[in-house]
Amino acid sequence: MVEIPVPQHMTAEEFRRHGRAVVDWIADYWERVESLPVRSRVQPGEVRGQLPSTPPQVGESFDAVLADLDTIVVPGLTHWQHPGFFAYFPTSTSGPAVLAELLTSGLGVQGMLWQTSPACTELEQHVLDWLAEMLALPEKFTFAGTGGGVIQDTASSAILVALVAALHRVSGGQVARDGVARGRYAVYTSTQAHSALEKGVRISGLGTSSIRLIETRPDLSMDPDALREAMKTDAVQGIIPVMVMATVGTTSTGALDPVEPIGRICREYGVWLHVDAAYAGVAAVCPELRWIHQGVAAYADSYATNPHKWMLTAFDCDACYVADRKALVGALSVLPEYLRNTATDSGAVVDYRDWQVPLGRRFRALKLWAVIRCYGVEGLRTHVRHSVALAQQFAAWVAADERFELMAPHPLSLVCFRLRGPDEPNQRLLEALNASGRIYLSHTVVRGAFTLRLAIGGTATRYEHVSAAWDHISRIAAEG
Ligand SMILES: *Cc1c(COP(=O)(O)O)cnc(C)c1O
């Protein structure tokens, strides 16, 4: 008999021991993260400089990995779960989400087809139907209607698949065969929209020359009259409008495009309307904030929001909905022989490989399910209301201080503000705040002026953190 060396795996007993240590490590990290500098202080190359140049030839203990996590990795982290993290949009994680992620990787299933793990698909369909109901999204976005939801990694992927579905619909399937002809199509969004659309048109082959950036109104929301003019101009030249992307809560300032009048124009021209609500959409879990979705039910062909931003569901989790699943599946479905199976042939199941760019997919629904079950709809409302109330308090402090000005409406949890006057003191203020290690803010440019952004939504952020942040900002600004 030939001797075949047997691979050595972590035993069940070792896994239990290290697993407990890892859970303890995370709990300790969450308890102490407030004492760490929010933005990492390492210099470029400093992390790599501490790592051995070659991998170990012989396996080490997991304890050695954990030890290096403390000494090498943690100092090289910017702490997104720090209660003083107010930059970009906080990416909130939570106990239920992390535990469910652990289960996801422990199960190690691949949900590319219904058949490759039925529960992975059906739980995702079900939880996304739940979320649609929680956000008061229309029935057309559910599996009871003509559409349905799918978890994408990010809002960027949601934009890309919406664009491809829109191209499929407008071309009657021709684009899937022949690709896109140069100069034939146009895509519309506001000057304030996320750069993910530009990436999407590059990847889809439309090219950036297909984008029409529509001017905004004084509140930085898309101007529907300007949208109509742009479409008219294109129509005269025989250019076909493919998609309009409206944003509910722009990244720069949280501006809310008027989806209803935009939607009416889309309907008139037969154009696909995608609503990018990556950050703000989950706020609609609160009945008093559902006005942000005005027009979505009547007009949107697709819609996406990121539970990983403001709904406590560890990165990555984007909930992406389409009103007509046939357009999306038509655009993306490819069925090679090796994926054929009777469940797919029966037409009775959803195969999520047809709803996304990759074939393989993680069991992400588990964490969204865990978050919704453990917080409950009421718990999630409390989280959103808490962030909104803290942001309103912060904005009131800014408004009451004549050195500062507010730069945009702030109905949700993002506040854009600056020192009155030139940009340079604002740039210095931001750098001093972020170098302090106590808080972390990012910036944008509003009407040409350098502006600080304070976004609230982190899991651990409380009144005392926002109040300390304001004291700190106020004091550093006074020191000039
Ligand atoms: C965060 C954000 C995105 C893109 O984020 P992803 O990392 O791709 O999920 C897109 N649009 C808006 C409005 C955003 O806030």
At residue 302 the predicted structure's pLDDT band, cuts being 50, 70 and 90, is: very high
Q: Is residue 107 left, alpha or beta, with left meaning phi > 0 and alpha meaning psi from -120 to 50?
A: alpha
Q: Burial level of 172, CB count in 10 A (0-12/13-18/19+)? A: exposed
- Contact (CB, 8 A) for 59 and 274: no
> Which of 279, 282, 318, 356 gets mutated to test ligand 1 (max ligand atoms within 8 A of its CB)?
279
- CA dist 134 and 141 (Å) reads 13
Q: From the CA of 196, how far away is ligand 1's center (Å)? A: 7
As a whole number, mean pLDDT of residues 297-309 equals 98
pLDDT at 304: 98
As a whole number, mean pLDDT of residues 423-451 equals 97
Q: Could you tell me how far CA 349 lies from the centroid of its own chain?
A: 27
> What are the pLDDT digits (tens) for 47-59?
999 999 999 999 9
Helix axes 463-479, 423-435, angle to 10 degrees: 130
63 CB contacts (<8 Å, ≥6 apart)?
Answer: 18, 21
3-state secondary structure of 39: coil
Residue 101 has pLDDT above 80, yes or no: yes
pLDDT at 335: 87
As a whole number, mean pLDDT of residues 384-400 equals 98
> What are the pLDDT digits (tens) for 113-143?
999 999 999 999 999 999 999 999 999 999 9
> What are the pLDDT digits (tens) for 51-80?
999 999 999 999 999 999 999 999 999 999
pLDDT at 28: 98
Closest atom of ligand 1 relative to the 277 alpha carbon: 13
As a whole number, mean pLDDT of residues 139-165 equals 97
At residue 215 the predicted structure's pLDDT band, cuts being 50, 70 and 90, is: very high
| Beta strands per DSSP E along 266-398 | 272-276, 302-305, 318-322
- CA dist 74 and 28 (Å) reads 13
Closest atom of ligand 1 relative to the 155 alpha carbon: 9
54 CB contacts (<8 Å, ≥6 apart)?
Answer: none
- CA dist 259 and 297 (Å) reads 10
Closest Cα to residue 185, out of 237, 232, 230, 239? Answer: 239
- Contact (CB, 8 A) for 197 and 251: no
Q: From the CA of 277, how far away is ligand 1's center (Å)? A: 8
Q: From the CA of 252, how far away is ligand 1's center (Å)? A: 11
> What are the pLDDT digits (tens) for 241-289?
999 999 999 999 999 999 999 999 999 999 999 999 999 999 999 999 9
123 CB contacts (<8 Å, ≥6 apart)?
Answer: 363, 365, 366, 369
Q: Burial level of 5, CB count in 10 A (0-12/13-18/19+)? A: exposed
As a whole number, mean pLDDT of residues 437-449 equals 97
pLDDT at 1: 80
pTM score? 0.97
What tokens appear for 337 in the block? 């022989």
At residue 109 the predicted structure's pLDDT band, cuts being 50, 70 and 90, is: very high
As a whole number, mean pLDDT of residues 296-311 equals 98
pLDDT at 480: 75
- CA dist 263 and 221 (Å) reads 14
3-state secondary structure of 290: helix
> What are the pLDDT digits (tens) for 356-385?
999 999 999 999 999 999 999 999 999 999
Going by CA atoms, what residue is nearest to atom 12 of ligand 1? 278
